[in-house]
């Protein structure tokens, strides 16, 4: 077994697991802050119950995001020491700032918010949840800055075989960050919205606390509609950016083996990576040129042409990412994103017509609870696999990034260890989320706070 392969699997598994929690932390944090603000303004106790109900789910989710995040930070040095040496001068900066600027803020004020309910003035308590939400947002920007540099290295010179910072402003304002951060953050808000919508729908189907969950569903619908639509437009901007800066990734996303002018968008393809071709294709003419360059005439370069270019540029080697994976994950992400928008529009129309609680809609919304996670995974796999064989585009290959002194046995131990622990955690987390997503009050009973007063203390 190759330690490189194991290290890659480990990174993939731990990142995917970490990324279950992060988007929800970002999205749900903001939604809870909004709910608590409604309570602050209106004094309506329903909003207080609402913020606490969703806050409980937020907290379970937050803790797992933090601990799996430490693994991510340590993993660069443990499994990818050569990567760390190569990029540390630049990549380390956003990572360190993220911890200093965002993690302290989030975790300190989460503690203040959780334990300070009866101890703080209302305004201060409200401020603390907003600071938690702000912290998670700021943290997303810094970590995406680090990732953007892997996609599009800027502001560096190569000295003694390593990247050295030459222009910090270029790193902070990386063009790639300007398209990647909005897309990822908006997707996180969509995730939070669909989560709240799905669980609210589930309760509405069972007629639990109609007032609370109807209002929650309405708030969530607005979030999904706005954030979902903007996720799509910012995604389009990111795809156009990718066409210019990572043409091989774009070609793989489309399984476009041969250059086309104008290029058509592929709806379906049986991909044969070995022979470098696709069969049984269904294509929509012109559409890829529109998506990539906003016109109907531009050429989009194919994988074969780009491979030849890369060989001329970087020397002999295989520069083609795993096409089928990139192609299908991209389609999964886009397809799901469109479904989210359609769901939100349907919900808004029903709301406008005065009857959101149609059972078919509520059932549909419940199912949609799980889909943003798939869309998030798919999007990450598209962008990270699409960059292969590079770990830093054009500068460092993934195969040169792995720790040379760590043995197969060691990587195997940590890989199996993390996978097993994460699997168990996922099961517990899901179980607890399920338990706590259950009703605050039983139907027919007067509204009460049973079990809620103390939920935040350990």
Partner 1 sequence: MDINTIWYALIAVLFIGYFFLEGFDFGVGILLPAIARNDIERRIVINTIGPFWDANEVWLITAGGAMFAAFPDWYATLFSGFYLPLFLILVALILRAVGFEFRGKLDNVGWRHAADSAIVIGSALPAFLWGVAITNLVRGVPIGPDMQFQGSLLTLLNPFSLLGGLVSIFVFSLHGALFLNLRAEEGLAERARSLALRLWWPAAIVMLGFFLASYSQTDLFSRSGLVPGTVPVLAMIMFVASFVLARLRFGGWAFATTGLTIVLATVVAFHGLYPRVMPSSLGSGYDLTVYNASSSAMTLHVMLVVAIIFVPIVLAYQGYSYWVFRRRVTRRGLGGS
Site for partner 1 in 389-418 (CB under 8 A): 403-406, 410, 413-414, 417
Tell me the closest approach of the beta carbon of residue 328 to partner 1, in angstroms. Answer: 32
Does position 364 bind partner 1 by CB under 8 A? no
Nearer to partner 1, 333 or 395 (CB): 395
Q: Scanning the structure block, which residue is given the tokens 């531009």?
A: 298
CB 301 within 8 A of CB 259: yes
Nearer to partner 1, 3 or 247 (CB): 3
Name which of residues 430 to 449 contact partner 1 (CB under 8 A): 432, 435-436
Does position 108 bind partner 1 by CB under 8 A? yes
Nearer to partner 1, 59 or 141 (CB): 59
User: Mask of contacts with partner 1, 128-167, x by CB under 8 A?
Assistant: -------------------------------x----xxx-
Nearer to partner 1, 120 or 324 (CB): 120
Tell me the closest approach of the beta carbon of residue 281 to partner 1, in angstroms. Answer: 45
Tell me the closest approach of the beta carbon of residue 68 to partner 1, in angstroms. Answer: 7
Give the number of other Cβ atoms within 10 Å of residue 272's Cβ: 14
Tell me the closest approach of the beta carbon of residue 112 to partner 1, in angstroms. Answer: 5
Tell me the closest approach of the beta carbon of residue 167 to partner 1, in angstroms. Answer: 9
Name which of residues 288 to 317 contact partner 1 (CB under 8 A): none
Tell me the closest approach of the beta carbon of residue 5 to partner 1, in angstroms. Answer: 17
Which residue in the set 370, 428, 430, 434 belongs to the binding site for partner 1 (CB under 8 A)? Answer: 428
Nearer to partner 1, 168 or 285 (CB): 168
Does position 350 bind partner 1 by CB under 8 A? no
Name which of residues 179 to 218 contact partner 1 (CB under 8 A): none
Q: Scanning the structure block, which residue is given the tokens 């720790």?
A: 403
Which residue in the set 50, 57, 90, 219 belongs to the binding site for partner 1 (CB under 8 A)? Answer: 90
Tell me the closest approach of the beta carbon of residue 126 to partner 1, in angstroms. Answer: 15
Tell me the closest approach of the beta carbon of residue 173 to partner 1, in angstroms. Answer: 14
User: Mask of contacts with partner 1, 49-88, x by CB under 8 A?
Assistant: ----------xx--xx-xxxxxx-xx-xxxx-xx-xx-xx
Does position 107 bind partner 1 by CB under 8 A? yes
């Amino acid at each position: 077994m190759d330690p490189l392969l194991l290290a890659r699997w480990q990174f993939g598994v731990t990142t995917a697991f970490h990324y279950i929690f992060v988007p929800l932390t970002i999205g749900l944090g903001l939604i809870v802050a909004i709910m608590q603000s409604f309570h602050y303004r209106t004094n309506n106790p329903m909003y207080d119950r609402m913020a606490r109900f969703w806050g409980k789910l937020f907290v379970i989710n937050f803790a797992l995001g933090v601990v799996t995040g430490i693994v991510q930070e340590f993993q660069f040095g443990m499994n990818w020491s050569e990567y760390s040496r190569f990029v540390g001068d630049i990549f380390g900066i956003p990572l360190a700032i993220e911890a200093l600027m965002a993690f302290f803020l989030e975790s300190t004020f989460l503690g203040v918010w959780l334990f300070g309910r009866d101890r703080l003035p209302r305004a201060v308590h409200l401020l603390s949840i907003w600071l938690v939400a702000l912290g998670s947002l700021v943290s997303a920007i810094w970590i995406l800055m680090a990732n953007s540099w892997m996609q599009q290295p800027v502001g560096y010179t190569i000295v003694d075989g390593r990247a050295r910072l030459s222009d910090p402003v270029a790193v902070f304002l990386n063009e790639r960050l300007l398209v990647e951060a909005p897309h990822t953050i908006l997707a996180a808000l969509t995730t939070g919205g669909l989560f709240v919508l799905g669980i609210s729908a589930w309760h509405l189907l069972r007629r639990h606390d109609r007032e609370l969950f109807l209002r929650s569903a309405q708030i969530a619908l607005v979030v999904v509609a706005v954030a979902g639509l903007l996720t799509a437009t910012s995604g389009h901007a990111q795809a156009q950016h990718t066409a210019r800066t990572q043409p091989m990734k774009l070609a793989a996303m489309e399984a476009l083996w041969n250059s086309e002018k104008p290029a058509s968008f592929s709806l379906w393809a049986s991909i044969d990576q070995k022979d470098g071709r696709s069969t049984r294709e269904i294509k929509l003419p012109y559409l890829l040129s529109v998506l990539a360059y906003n016109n109907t005439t531009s050429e989009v370069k194919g994988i074969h042409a780009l491979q030849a270019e890369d060989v001329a540029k970087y020397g002999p080697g295989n520069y083609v990412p795993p096409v089928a994976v990139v192609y299908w994950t991209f389609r999964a992400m886009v397809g799901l994103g469109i479904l989210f928008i359609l769901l939100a529009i349907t919900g808004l129309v029903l709301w406008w017509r005065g009857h959101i609680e149609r059972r078919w809609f509520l059932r549909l919304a419940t199912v949609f609870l799980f889909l943003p996670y798939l869309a998030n995974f798919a999007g990450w796999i598209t962008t990270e696999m699409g960059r292969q064989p590079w770990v830093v585009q054009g500068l460092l290959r993934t195969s040169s990034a792995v720790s040379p002194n760590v043995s197969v046995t060691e990587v195997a131990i940590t890989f199996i260890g993390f996978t097993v622990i994460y699997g168990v955690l996922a099961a517990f987390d899901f179980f607890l989320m399920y338990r706590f997503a259950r009703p605050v009050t039983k139907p027919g009973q007067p509204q009460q706070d049973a079990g809620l007063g103390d939920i935040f203390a350990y």
